[in-house]
Amino acid sequence: MRKILEVIATTPADAIIADQAGADRIEWIAAQQEGGLTPSLDVIEQMTESVSIPVNMMVRPHSHHFVYDDADLMRMVQDIRHISRTDVATIVTGVLTADREIDIIALERLLDAADGKPFTFHRAFDELDDLERGLEILSRYPQITHILTSGGQPSVIQATMQMITLNRLARQTHIQLIAGAGLTLQNLAPFIKETCIQEVHLGSAMRINSDIQLALDPTRIAEAQRILQLSI
């Protein structure tokens, strides 16, 4: 199975660089320094038409937490309804309760708003008290195709054994794991070899000097893709 390289993009220019350098997929966000927020809906057409690879779009109204009130959810529903009519490939979002559980009621509301468009449950997943139970709950929803996770740790490198377990469980479902947070060109190959994860998500490591304030570096993206495809 071909391994998948997902790269964070914050602008159409980022997206073009990622596409031309060999990324397989883009996660489009705003405010990367805040962990990613919903980007401007006004440039969706420009973003999706500028590249030939899938564009996944973050829906996250603020960076305070993943517990959303009615006003937050109304905004998210409106954004998702808009996105569902575009060429965005997948919606990236996540909703939790104050008890660190998946907010099933809110999640189903968001899924219903998407008119069948696929979802990735993002790193809100890593704040769950029980990741394995969270995976089982999310696997009940065919519309949720991916989970972006660092295995419950600040860096996925600190969660190797947890990622092996989650990947084993995910393979019994329709869900694919995307490993993110803490991956670099230096640790990517050993991580893939140990965990057998097929999809990875790279952010600052793909930028010049690993600085999120600087542009994407096409040579880093190409090297990450080379490493991935050589990994067995």
- Collect all residues with Cβ–Cβ distance below 8 Å to 64 and sequence separation of at least 6: none
**Helices 160-170, 131-138: inter-axial angle, 10-degree rounding:** 30
Reply yes or no on whether the pLDDT at 157 is more than 90. yes
Q: Are 227 and 27 in contact (CB under 8 A)?
A: no
Which tokens belong to 165?
Answer: 């377990």
What is the arithmetic mean of pLDDT over 153-161? Answer: 95
User: What is the per-residue pLDDT across 186-218, written as a single tens digit (0 to 9) for each?
Assistant: 999 999 999 999 999 999 999 999 988 899 999
Give counts: helices (H), strands (E), the chain: 8, 8
Nearest CA among 87, 160, 159, 97 for reference residue 124: 97
CA 227 to chain centre: 20
- pLDDT tens digits for range 84-141: 999 999 999 999 999 999 999 999 999 999 999 999 999 899 999 999 999 999 999 9
Task: Determine the Cα–Cα distance for residues 201 and 56; give it in Å rounded to an integer.
Answer: 12
pTM for this one? 0.94
- CATH of segment(s) 4-230: 3.20.20.380
Measured in whole angstroms, the distance separating CA 88 from the mean position of its chain's CA atoms is 14
User: What's the pLDDT tens digit per position in 10-36?
Assistant: 999 999 999 999 999 999 998 877 777
Mean pLDDT of 59-69: 93
Instruction: Please give the C-alpha separations between residue 116 and each of 80, 193, 217, in angstroms, as whole numbers.
Output: 11, 34, 34
